[in-house]
Amino acid sequence: MLATPDKNTVLEQRRQAACPRGVGVQTQSFTARAQNAEIWDVNGKRLIDFGSGIAVLATGHRHPAVMAAVERQLRDFHHTCFQVTPYESYVELCEKLNSRTPGAFAKKTALFTTGAEAVENAIKVAKAATGRSAVIAFSGAFHGRTLLGMALTGKVHPYKAGFGAMPPEVWHVPYPAEALGVSVEDSVLAIERLFKADVDPHRVAAIVLEPVQGEGGFYIAPTALLRKLREICDSHGILLVVDEVQTGFGRTGKLFALEHHGVDFDLLTMAKSLAGGFPLSALTGRAELMDAAAPGGLGGTYAGNPLAVAAALAVLDVMDREALPQRAEVLGDRLVEKLDGLRQRVPSITQVRRLGAMVGIEFRDEAGTPLPQFVKRVQDLALAKGLLLLTCGVHGNVIRFLFPLTIEDAVFEEGLALLADALLEA
Ligand code: PMP
């Protein structure tokens, strides 16, 4: 008798037939339900979630306070389009983000739906406010898959390959990373070289950076870079755009990663953990810049959807009530302690980088060659054992940790034990 194929296999076949391969899928584990830091697939297999749907669930799957807020909102209305008949919760969230983002200056906020859209709108505002057209971003950066997001992204494969000419006047300079042999001075020199060889600084509207490169490899921007960029921006009338789509909302030990540096932004983008899994992004900026675009120039049909806004307001409460930024430090400490204990037995761990709970492990061989296959093996072994891990890095040789900050101690310890088993077995 032929064995019946398991549900994941059947769904995977349907996926391959119905969905384009361009929407790459990491696992063949189709989700049935999830709670806090655990996912159960359609076969009933349990996974401990150290990925949070790519940095989205700082407050975990189905946080009761977030669910209750969305249910309350569902009973009143779930869509009007803010640009047609506005609602108070949108305004309230903007007020909160204006006051909670770092920097003691007048701010305004606009809401959107995805991270890429927030970045796109940051550049639109920067262009409208400065009357300039060029933008500088960093190699290894990730800013989204829309046309401009893709142009700003500093990695060709798989994000730009095959998609034709990029929008003009987007320039890349190296992001400082000890592991890649790039110093802050190298990055600054590259910008100065750009100003000499390629683009008049007075044409540059914005410099865009992630305070910790997410997809790029969890490289952490040193304060010296942020200060230098602020100086360059101020001396040439360029705007500093800080992309906190991945670093935002408690993960780095502060609500925003920029708080580690004491440097002011001009425009700041957020998404992911902002609304605990409901599609919402935000652009906060200096009030006078945010007003540069004419009425109708910003927005979107679904931008600032009431359900997502209700979720975001609840997320902000949970961040405070459960002291999640502080919890990020505790969890990050525990993870690094565990990794320290393993380093002798796993010599390919060449660097552990950490800002709060944003931890990345880089793997290379003795000659310094990146080890993406080793990382893939660890990831596969972990998955088989019931632990979902994400990777990153231009060479795919970094494991990154993005567990919910609400993860229960026992589940976290179980996850760490599975991680150790996978690392030792790989
Ligand atoms: N910016 C950063 C820093 C990101 O990490 C991401 C998503 N990984 C984006 C922008 C794009 O966000 P989205 O996928 O929601 O468009």
Q: Are 407 and 38 in contact (CB under 8 A)?
A: no
Measured distance CA(166)–CA(357) in Å, rounded: 34
The model scores a pTM over 0.85: yes
Measured distance CA(330)–CA(317) in Å, rounded: 20
Q: Is the CB of 392 under 6 A from ligand 1?
A: no
Mean pLDDT per segment of 10 residues, for the chain of length 426 residues? 83 98 96 98 97 98 98 98 98 98 98 98 98 98 98 96 96 95 98 98 98 97 98 98 97 98 98 98 98 97 98 98 98 98 96 98 97 98 98 96 98 98 97
CA of 59 to the centre of ligand 1 (A): 18
- Write the CATH number of the domain with boundaries 66-321: 3.40.640.10
Burial class (CB in 10 A: 0-12, 13-18, 19+), 133: middle
CA of 344 to the centre of ligand 1 (A): 35
Residue the block writes with tokens 């076949």:
13
> How far is CA 349 from each of CA 175, 176, 183, 344, 403, rounded to the nearest angstrom?
21, 20, 21, 9, 20
Residue span(s) of the chain under CATH 3.90.1150.10 come to: 7-62+323-425
| Six token digits for residue 12 | 């995977």
Provide the 10 A C-beta neighbour count for residue 357. Answer: 27
Burial class (CB in 10 A: 0-12, 13-18, 19+), 19: exposed
pLDDT for residue 2 = 66
Give the gyration radius of the chain's Cα atoms.
Answer: 21
pLDDT for residue 4 = 72
63 torsion bin: left (phi>0), alpha (psi -120 to 50), beta (else)? beta
Whose Cα sits closest to atom 1 in ligand 1? 143
The secondary structure of 29-66, three-state, reads CCEEEEEECEEEECCCCEEEECCHHHHCCCCCECCHHH
CA of 274 to the centre of ligand 1 (A): 12
Measured distance CA(332)–CA(164) in Å, rounded: 41
Measured distance CA(121)–CA(293) in Å, rounded: 10
Q: Are 152 and 122 in contact (CB under 8 A)?
A: no
**271 CA closest ligand 1 atom index:** 15
**119 CA closest ligand 1 atom index:** 10
Q: Are 200 and 136 in contact (CB under 8 A)?
A: no
Sign of CA dihedral 230, 236, 237, 239: negative
pLDDT for residue 1 = 61
- Write the CATH number of the domain with boundaries 7-62+323-425: 3.90.1150.10
pLDDT for residue 5 = 76
Q: Is the CB of 243 under 6 A from ligand 1?
A: yes
| Six token digits for residue 194 | 């750009």
Q: Encode pLDDT of 69-107 as tens digits.
A: 999 999 999 999 999 999 999 999 999 999 999 999 999
Residue span(s) of the chain under CATH 3.40.640.10 come to: 66-321
Query: Quick check: helix, strand or coil at residue 218?
Result: coil
Q: Is the CB of 245 under 6 A from ligand 1?
A: yes
Measured distance CA(197)–CA(195) in Å, rounded: 6
Residue type at 272? K
Q: Is the CB of 211 under 6 A from ligand 1?
A: no
What single DSSP character describes residue 220?
A: B
Q: Is the CB of 210 under 6 A from ligand 1?
A: yes
Burial class (CB in 10 A: 0-12, 13-18, 19+), 404: buried
